[in-house]
Chain A
Amino acid sequence: MSRRALGFIATGALGFGLLAAGLATNASAQDKLVFSVGVTQDIDSLNVTVGYLVIDFEIWNLTLPSLTDRSAEDFSTLPSMAESWTASDDGLTWRYKLREGLKWSDGEPMTADDVVYTITRAVADGWINHRSDLANITATAIDSRTVQVVSAVPDPKLPYLGSYILPKHVYEKISTEEMPNYLADDNVSGGPFQIVERKEGEFVRLARNPNWHGKKPTIDEVVFRMYETAEAQFNALKAGDLDAIDDVPVKLFASVAAGEVENIIGLAGNQGSFSELAINSGCAKGIGDGHVALKDRKVRQAINWAIDRQLLVDKILSGFGVPAVSLIPSANPAFDMKISADEAYSYDPAKANALLDEAGWKDSNNDGVRDKDGVELKLRYYDRSTAGATATTPFLTGWLKDVGIATDVKTFDEDSLIAEQSKSEFDLYTWGWTPYVDPDNMLSYFTTSQVPTDPDVGGYNDANWCNDEFDALYLKQNSELDPTKRAELIQQMHEIFFDEAPYAVLYKYDNLQAFRSDRWQNFTRQPSDVGPVLFSQSSPVYRDLEPVGTRGGSSGTNTMIIVIVALVVAGGVLVALANRRKEDADERL
């Protein structure tokens, strides 16, 4: 048989082999209903006592139970682990009755002991994500299905108790010293899903938890896949590699929202996420080395007047957001500051200049930078290396320069920035928050008790700001059960915050998300109509999703690729053989 024929056969066999393998593998890929979500931020830690990023919370919402849940429509309290509850007459004692037959994913029973253990230990060890909810709470187990919770003061948040409950049988083996290093890879879950596979920096895969006590989700698996950039993620969504993404690049979102991209729908959800410029206000009880100028309220106000928030919303958010002038303490906009447009901070460099002059900061040596008593008004400006976190920097530094404030910009990774903040050794830095539903948590972050005094412990009061009146009002609203009175107290707190300006709050931004409408439906928003779907307060969407028709997409592409590869290989071999043949003839001559 000639060499050529042999070659042909070999190639054909190879090609068909590849094809067969390709087709065979596609069958197995279609058995499970998998929902893939793209994320640009990797999990920093699944350990609930350490992690603080939004993605961590999404996964905890899916894997850790709590006594109560929040409704998707309007955040109202729903039963979860607890099926019912009763209150004492003074409203300080609550009894929660747990459902029957609760089990963790590993088969161990889920009882009142787990709840009591979690609450007690969280308070004793000072777990950051549980601290503010449980500050005044003690819990005891009346029996295996009844938990008694006692609050030291009237608590307007109860009966809602959303703290993540941990499995006692896993966590009692971990000492307080080891806890920060614990990877939480035990994958014992009490939520609708459990983690089955995690490749750090690549993806984390969750599968349905058969022991989940709530509404059974239709999807079999959820996968969170990490991408380096929002744009790469968006391309993956278009190509069918993903089913949903958060953080759609702003410039691309407009066309998606207008329905111009086939099979993809876009949703702009708002749950109060906001960005701010934190100003080291130099609390007398705190530590650190903030610039002396920033201790003066007038200077901080001047900074607020120097910023054009509307332009930031127009240019950076493409209009998907609103300017903000005070804290956004809640996902519920009813708790935002009520202030008229002409009183609110707006872009007024003249006012900023006037305030700085009044504060005594004038440019005496004509170098373009204000000074006073021989000290230049040059501020350390820190931003983060995370994608998109530096968008406001050129704007803000430009405007500050316009009013005579020089800035020295330095970029940090998030961990290091927190370390600097824990020492209060900075002047200005940019970050953002996503508030809870109840305003209490966010407001607590600005009380004096949260001012860092020990760099190893740190504190959420990242403006290093303290105000006795604010503290007093906080305690009042913390135990005010009448909603109208409480709202008034909070408004008063806003007025202090606005006046003292420890932050230059920039804007509230929408969470821009996109989904494959050809594959899925029932994208639950929280709250309904205005909220986001992904990364919401209690992540209900994963329990509600339903598929649309059959999934065609990628399998077809895979087959085509297999065919192309086979053809290319065949072609290459043929060409090589043909050439060889010519050379043979040459040599023989």
Chain B
Amino acid sequence: MTWARRRRAFSRVWRELRHDRPGFIGLLLLSGFGLFALSAPLIADRSSLLAASGRNNPDLAAPSSKFLLGTDEIGRDVLAQLVWGSRVSLFIGLLATVVAVVIGSLVGLAAGYAKGKISAVLLAIDDFFLVVPFLPLAIVLAVILGRSPTTLAIVIGFTSWAGSARLIRAQVLTLSERAYVERARALGAGSWHVIVRHVLPGVAPLIIANATLIVPTAILTESTLSFLGFGDRLSPSWGKLLDGAQSSGSITINAWWYFLPPGLCIIGIVLAFTLLGRALERIFDPRLKGR
């Protein structure tokens, strides 16, 4: 019964999305990047990422038939780094979002559903995370906990959950007052059951839309961290490419193939997620129509 309902809901969303021009563009862009990331092994061999792989290549060479996006300052293939870097940036962005959404949802659900002290404490914690400067905090945590992609994702997620918790809590508060929740409670259903069976499905669309909007922030944060030199030094990422471009003086000599592609990719993917996220927000919350 619920599956049919869900499928109908899904096809409604899909239909509306197709007609929402910005959202659809976002979706297309996103699919493009997804394909790009998936096709990494087809485009370039992993060994091109090693420092010594540039051995026989010219340094900072302009794009050619051999190197479609030219080479970096130690002769490595820029396209290889760009395409494998897309995996890193996407991985960190998505994992960080999952972390942020899980923490944010749990806190938001609990704060919204439970009353009194628990809610107050959770709100205070949330306040705290909203107030602490998140970039320095993320950097400090990265330095302490290590800079592997997984750790970085957790760190970024950990510093980004505060906003969603608020939103989710607000939504939970609204939903808890709905009739069917009251009925379920009157019938003696336990809190957990009510939350999962009744509240969660109502909040789910908002969580999804919100998550789609957190991914771009996570990706931007990761690229900022890498650019400042606090990211994972051993794996390629778009931020790291920009850092490399800047520190090797490539911008001054106009080695555009080195710094424009990663910058444009970041803009592209952030734009894609943002467009999609805003479209989803519009679809799920009728009050926001016309945004």
**Given known contacts A394-B233, A409-B233, A315 and B251 CB-to-CB distance under 8 angstroms:** no
Q: How many angstroms from the CA of A367 to the CA of B17 in the assembled complex?
A: 49
Q: How many angstroms from the CA of A318 to the CA of B54 in the assembled complex?
A: 13
Q: How many angstroms from the CA of A255 to the CA of B250 in the assembled complex?
A: 13
* Contact, CB under 8 Å: B73 / A231: no
In the complex, B191 has a CB within 8 A of chain A: no
* Contact, CB under 8 Å: A231 / B52: no
**What's the minimum C-beta distance from B128 to chain A, rounded to whole angstroms?**
29
Mask: chain A, 381-411; 1 = CB below 8 Å from B; 0 = not: 0000101101001110111000000000100
Instruction: Provide the residues of chain A in CB contact with B249, threshold 8 Å.
Output: 230-231, 234, 249-252
Q: How many angstroms from the CA of A316 to the CA of B55 in the assembled complex?
A: 11
**Given known contacts A235-B252, A315-B59, A387 and B51 CB-to-CB distance under 8 angstroms:** no
Number of residues on chain B facing chain A (CB within 8 A)? 21
Q: How many angstroms from the CA of A385 to the CA of B52 in the assembled complex?
A: 22
In the complex, B39 has a CB within 8 A of chain A: no
**What's the minimum C-beta distance from B56 to chain A, rounded to whole angstroms?**
10
Instruction: Provide the residues of chain B in CB contact with A230, threshold 8 Å.
Output: 247, 249
In the complex, A311 has a CB within 8 A of chain B: yes
* Contact, CB under 8 Å: B234 / A311: no
In the complex, A229 has a CB within 8 A of chain B: yes
In the complex, A495 has a CB within 8 A of chain B: no
In the complex, B229 has a CB within 8 A of chain A: yes
**What's the minimum C-beta distance from B233 to chain A, rounded to whole angstroms?**
7
* Contact, CB under 8 Å: A393 / B233: yes
**What's the minimum C-beta distance from A355 to chain B, rounded to whole angstroms?**
20
**In the complex, chain A residues 300-322 whose Cβ is within 8 Å of any chain B Cβ:** 308, 311, 315-316, 318
**Given known contacts A315-B59, A318-B59, A394-B51, A251 and B248 CB-to-CB distance under 8 angstroms:** yes
* Contact, CB under 8 Å: B250 / A251: yes
Partner of A252, one of B55, B233, B252: B252
**Given known contacts A251-B250, A252-B253, A255-B253, A395 and B51 CB-to-CB distance under 8 angstroms:** yes
Mask: chain A, 213-256; 1 = CB below 8 Å from B; 0 = not: 00000000000000001110011000000000000011110010
* Contact, CB under 8 Å: A311 / B247: no
Q: How large is the interface on A (under 10, 10 to 19, 20 to 34, 35 or more residues)?
A: 20 to 34
**What's the minimum C-beta distance from B53 to chain A, rounded to whole angstroms?**
9
**In the complex, chain B residues 39-56 whose Cβ is within 8 Å of any chain A Cβ:** 50-52, 54-55
* Contact, CB under 8 Å: B52 / A398: yes
* Contact, CB under 8 Å: B234 / A251: no
Q: How many angstroms from the CA of A543 to the CA of B75 in the assembled complex?
A: 42
Instruction: Provide the residues of chain A in CB contact with B229, threshold 8 Å.
Output: 385
* Contact, CB under 8 Å: B50 / A398: yes
* Contact, CB under 8 Å: A315 / B60: no
Q: How many angstroms from the CA of A406 to the CA of B251 in the assembled complex?
A: 35
**In the complex, chain B residues 231-267 whose Cβ is within 8 Å of any chain A Cβ:** 233-234, 246-253
CB-CB nearest in chain B for A401? B50
* Contact, CB under 8 Å: A251 / B233: no
CB-CB nearest in chain B for A390? B233
CB-CB nearest in chain A for B55? A311
**What's the minimum C-beta distance from A227 to chain B, rounded to whole angstroms?**
13
**In the complex, chain A residues 183-239 whose Cβ is within 8 Å of any chain B Cβ:** 229-231, 234-235
Instruction: Provide the residues of chain A in CB contact with B50, threshold 8 Å.
Output: 394, 398
Instruction: Provide the residues of chain B in CB contact with A231, threshold 8 Å.
Output: 246-249, 251-252
In the complex, B74 has a CB within 8 A of chain A: yes
Instruction: Provide the residues of chain B in CB contact with A409, threshold 8 Å.
Output: 233-234
Partner of A395, one of B52, B248, B252: B52
**What's the minimum C-beta distance from A564 to chain B, rounded to whole angstroms?**
24
**What's the minimum C-beta distance from B78 to chain A, rounded to whole angstroms?**
14
Q: How many angstroms from the CA of A393 to the CA of B247 in the assembled complex?
A: 15
Most chain B CB inside 10 Å of its own CB: which residue of A230, A234, A311, A397? A311
* Contact, CB under 8 Å: B54 / A315: yes
Instruction: Provide the residues of chain A in CB contact with B234, threshold 8 Å.
Output: 394, 397, 409
CB-CB nearest in chain B for A249? B249
* Contact, CB under 8 Å: A311 / B233: no
Instruction: Provide the residues of chain A in CB contact with B74, threshold 8 Å.
Output: 315-316
Nearest 5 interchain pairs by C-beta? A249-B249, A394-B51, A315-B74, A395-B51, A252-B249
List, sorted by A's number, 19 A–B pairs whose CB atoms are closer than 8 Å. A230-B249, A231-B246, A231-B247, A231-B249, A234-B252, A249-B247, A249-B248, A250-B73, A250-B248, A251-B73, A252-B249, A255-B253, A315-B59, A315-B74, A393-B233, A394-B51, A394-B233, A395-B51, A398-B50
Which B residues are within 8 Å of any A CB, using their own CB? 50-52, 54-55, 59-60, 73-75, 229, 233-234, 246-253
- Beyond A229-B247, A231-B248, list 14 extra A-B contacts (CB 8 Å): A229-B246, A231-B249, A231-B251, A249-B248, A251-B250, A252-B249, A315-B54, A315-B59, A315-B73, A318-B59, A387-B247, A393-B233, A394-B50, A394-B234
